[in-house]
Structure 1
Amino acid sequence: MTSHGTTTEECSPTPPTAEPATPSPGLYNADLAPTARKGRTWRSYSIFTLWANDVHSLGNYAFAIGLFALGLGGWQILLALGLGGVFLFLLLNLSGFMGEKTGVPFPVMSRIAFGIRGAQIPALVRGAVAVAWFGIQTYLASVVLRVLIVAVAPGTASWDTNRFLGLSTLGWISFLALWAVQMVIVSYGMELIRKYEAFAGPIILITMASLAIWMFGKAGGSIAWSTPATKTGFDMWRQIVGGASLWVAIYGTFVLNFCDFTRNAVSRRAIVRGNFFGIPLNMLLFGAIVVVLAGAQFKIDGKVIESPADIVKTVPDTFLLVLACLALLVLTVAVNLMANFVAPIYALSNLFPRVLDFRRAGLVSGVVGLVILPWNMYNSPAVISYFLGGLGALLGPLFGIVMADYWLVRRSRVDVPSLYSDRPGGPYHYARGVNVRAVVALVPTAAAALLMAFVPAFHAVSDFSWFIGAGLGVVVYLLVADRKGPFAEASGEAIAVPSKR
């Protein structure tokens, strides 16, 4: 453990192993390698802009506005989001510190608990969820782009009437244009992603705040703080705590693989500061915007909007409409890059390290996100619920197992070079590369998570399924884990690569 702002080397020197493990080509490449501490580029602002973009995503606005529709008033929504923000702040720090200390991405981090081969399980679960949502989010952004194109060139509306594989001509043009932009950005690696996030963050905050101010004025300088269906008493508090829990579940993907980003962080202090301003404080700002947007619209016509995009469509000035649409496009691309592109890239690179570097894995992820025709997935409740919902339910147990192994069993002691060694007898070789104890812990906890997600009898606790799954993962893993050790610790600097790529 280190104090905030102090490097691991300064506070607790890690003695090298007597004979450093030689990286195996089947486990190591320049993208999976640990990042050298010197030259890391992600400071507090870089971490903050991740959340400045992701918190204000269209999907999050739809979720939070949904709380208004479900009977929570203004202050109750703020409380639910505030509680969720506090939970996330703590969880993301735990996950982020792992990346800052070791410098490794999530698939490699998973080797600690699951073994050098067993790590494919959590990596592929996380990657599969992400690549599907990459395609879906690109499609949702393309809908905004279609609105923009028609606003600028009304004659193109006729291109939006036919259908081929589920999309119109204009739909295909919009989707492929946004798909190509993201592919270009990703082809330049994590550093360009960091720069894009830093560029997009202020744009999103200014746009959403401006939209809220405009709606506040349009509603006559006041808003509806609640609806006639607003809950009270026990139902209200259950909905508040349930909303906070669901807010954490939405970020179940991020708390699992946050180390993909913090492996480039300059210090723990940068992570804590970036998370503090980007999560609790930013989420309260987000909540205030949600309350104003939903409350203003409800006061105007008694209707609850589903997304800020609904308001953007009503902007009477074409120039302002175009600016608002462009801002939403910038936002959606920013969210997609960090939430849904990085994870499958590392998962694929971990699966085929000899042939897939960051750029090639990004191309494969993008092609998969295209050929699955994501608009058809999005329009299929069964696919969203059973496929993506089922995979998402596994994220809580996986988080619990990985965190329990790192923080409670090993006390953050990791032999980083051995994460890249396939020699029998290595600390992460286990049984043919798989830690059977971790798999044994995953099976019943994953089954419990799936039951809570899909069986109606468990509907009363479904809002809390992520926390229950994560808690069960911790408890069951601690019951079956080998806690005796000894657990060696060794720095990965000898095999590290520059973090700026």
Structure 2
Amino acid sequence: METDHKSLAALDPTGRLYNEDLAPATERKWTSYSFFAVWMSAIHNIGTYTFVAGLFVIGLTGWQVLAAILIGTAILFFGMNWAGKMGQRTGVPFPVMARISFGIWGANIPALIRAVIAICWYGIQTYLASMAVVVLLLRIDPDLQQWQNQSFLGLSLLGWACFILLWILQLLVITRGMEAVRRFQDWAGPIVWAVMLGMAVWLLALAGWNIPMDLSINPLAGGDVVRGVLTGAFLLVATYATMLLNYCDFTRFAKSERSVIRGNFWGIPVNFAAFAAISITMTIGTVVVFGKAITDPALILAKVPDTFVLVIGAVMFIVATIGVNVVLNFVSPAYDLANVWPKHINFRRGGIISAVLALLVMPWNLYSNPVVVNYFLGGLGAFLGPLFGIMAADYFLINRGVINLRDLYRSDETGEYFFRKGFNPKAIAVFIPTAAIAAVMALVPALNAVAAFAWPVGLVLAGVAYYLAMGVAVKPDAIQVKPEAQLEPAE
């Protein structure tokens, strides 16, 4: 494959489309367990627990919460199989895949949107987990309060120490490459499971081994129940919609398409349902034991009287944060930034730049500003449905899985994906109005009842509009890309 990569590099004399990290993957080592581990890392975290607990707080019973989770994960499972197939068959990362529909330069539009979302949430997730560690450290050693009373740039000195610790640990993982990511995930997910099960057993014992799954603190009736379940299901899908765009960043390393599907099955519907069951059991347990629903697992852990358990819990939050951030918020911008300037930015440098930016935006200020979180990040998140709709319609309906792999790296105007000056005007023309519709649905207060459906509406609208705008046109000289495909030498 060395000669093949050289032939691709020769197609890009400008150095604006190719480097080794953006080239089709040559080593396919990821197994079903690798993708199962990806989903354990993405799911086993504070955010998922809080999401599940939040569905209970709005009025759903334990059983209804699980119904919402099962519907949402079923949709997510089939969507990720589609997204995973794109990466496994071509071996290319997300920003290169976006060149098929948006053009060789236009691909930077979806890539940078995804990167901005990921970098901001990377910082916010790190901050939230560091605050959980602060709570546990203060519980372990109250004398640390003196460092909590002093602040710098809006964050306490203890908060800074915990934030920088998590920031450095995550950087150590990502800068070692995708194989290091795979090895970390292989053991991180099960560790978090063990601690969550331990906390659940402790709460069950305090509750007298009786957790009423039909309990609701704000009972809903009739159509409100159905609406609540469906809202929860589509909110779940929207939460992980970022992965639909860039799942090919992971599946490009898959041994086979079957390994992706099996890993997705055990990692999404099965694992998510099990983790949700533990989370909702713990949430209901806090109502039984403490008289109120506690939606933050760190606050539950802080009530454990054993110091050793608290230390283990603090380590768990660190591992969980690294896991979810690497999967959802770190790998993608590393590739996305590399795509902007491949000649000088590789995967490792893209990861370092992402980490530095996540620090510089001071995420504690972002998180405390509802305008930023709800409107800026929420608006950008609404764009993801239309982006995936355009890419999926192009790959599966228009090109029918047949692409010209070599032309993804061809920078001259004879390339199939050059379109008009490197941009596909039809993709952009479809994206702007459909993204606007999705953003309005997600952000306008008067449309709160349908806000959770902004993602699927945007996806369908963009997919249909793009299909009609482009029509069915498979090039007769296109290369059929298969897992075992070999690139032909340059002419």
Fold match (TM-score > 0.5):
yes
Q: What is the number of equivalent residue pairs in this alignment? A: 477
User: Which of residues 26, 33, 41 is equivalent to 2:29?
Assistant: 41
- Within 5 A, what are the aligned runs for 1:56-67? 56-67=44-55
Asked whether 1:206 is paired with 2:206, we answer no
- Within 5 A, what are the aligned runs for 1:62-73? 62-73=50-61
Residue 245 of structure 1: SS of its match in structure 2? helix
- Of all paired residues, the percent bearing the same amino acid is 44
Specify the alignment match of 2:114 in structure 1: 126
Q: Return the alpha-carbon distance in structure 1 between the equivalents of residues 389 and 137 of structure 2.
A: 46
What's the Cα RMSD here? 1.7
- Within 5 A, what are the aligned runs for 1:305-384? 305-384=294-373
> 1:20: Cα distance to partner?
7.7
Deviations 1:222-255 (A, max 9, x none): 1232224221211101111111011100011011
Which runs of 5 or more residues in structure 1 are unaligned? 1-15, 497-501
Larger mean Cα displacement after TM superposition, 486-495 or 124-133: 486-495
> 1:484: Cα distance to partner?
2.7
> 1:155: Cα distance to partner?
2.7
Equivalent pair of 1:185/1:193 in contact (CA under 8 Å): yes
> 1:21: Cα distance to partner?
8.7
Q: Return the alpha-carbon distance in structure 1 between the equivalents of residues 388 and 158 of structure 2.
A: 41
Specify the alignment match of 1:81 in structure 2: 69
Specify the alignment match of 1:99 in structure 2: 87
Aligned AA (2:56): F
Equivalent pair of 2:249/2:331 in contact (CA under 8 Å): yes
TM-score normalised by structure 1 residue count: 0.92
Specify the alignment match of 1:462 in structure 2: 451
User: Which of residues 475, 483, 498 is equivalent to 2:472?
Assistant: 483
> 1:112: Cα distance to partner?
0.4
Q: Return the alpha-carbon distance in structure 2 between the equivalents of residues 414 and 350 of structure 1.
A: 19
Equivalent pair of 2:383/2:435 in contact (CA under 8 Å): yes
Aligned AA (1:367): V
Larger mean Cα displacement after TM superposition, 229-238 or 400-409: 229-238
Specify the alignment match of 1:7 in structure 2: none
Asked whether 1:286 is paired with 2:246, we answer no
TM-score normalised by structure 2 residue count: 0.94
Specify the alignment match of 2:127 in structure 1: 139
Q: Return the alpha-carbon distance in structure 1 between the equivalents of residues 450 and 284 of structure 2.
A: 29
> 1:460: Cα distance to partner?
2.3
> 1:40: Cα distance to partner?
1.2
Equivalent pair of 1:34/1:495 in contact (CA under 8 Å): no
Deviations 1:176-198 (A, max 9, x none): 11111111111111110111111
> 1:482: Cα distance to partner?
3.9
Q: Return the alpha-carbon distance in structure 1 between the equivalents of residues 417 and 219 of structure 2.
A: 53
Equivalent pair of 1:417/1:490 in contact (CA under 8 Å): no
Specify the alignment match of 1:438 in structure 2: 427
Aligned AA (1:63): F
User: Which of residues 168, 173, 183 is equivalent to 1:195?
Assistant: 183
Equivalent pair of 2:384/2:455 in contact (CA under 8 Å): yes
Larger mean Cα displacement after TM superposition, 20-29 or 476-485: 20-29
Q: Return the alpha-carbon distance in structure 1 between the equivalents of residues 135 and 448 of structure 2.
A: 38
Q: Return the alpha-carbon distance in structure 2 between the equivalents of residues 345 and 67 of structure 1.
A: 33
> 1:453: Cα distance to partner?
1.3
Deviations 1:439-487 (A, max 9, x none): 1110110110111012233222111111111111111111111423325
Moved over 4 A (4+): none
Specify the alignment match of 1:149 in structure 2: 137
Equivalent pair of 1:312/1:325 in contact (CA under 8 Å): no
> 1:148: Cα distance to partner?
3.9
Equivalent pair of 1:22/1:417 in contact (CA under 8 Å): no
Q: Return the alpha-carbon distance in structure 1 between the equivalents of residues 450 and 135 of structure 2.
A: 40
Specify the alignment match of 1:405 in structure 2: 394
Aligned AA (2:453): F
> 1:218: Cα distance to partner?
1.1
Q: Return the alpha-carbon distance in structure 1 between the equivalents of residues 271 and 435 of structure 2.
A: 32
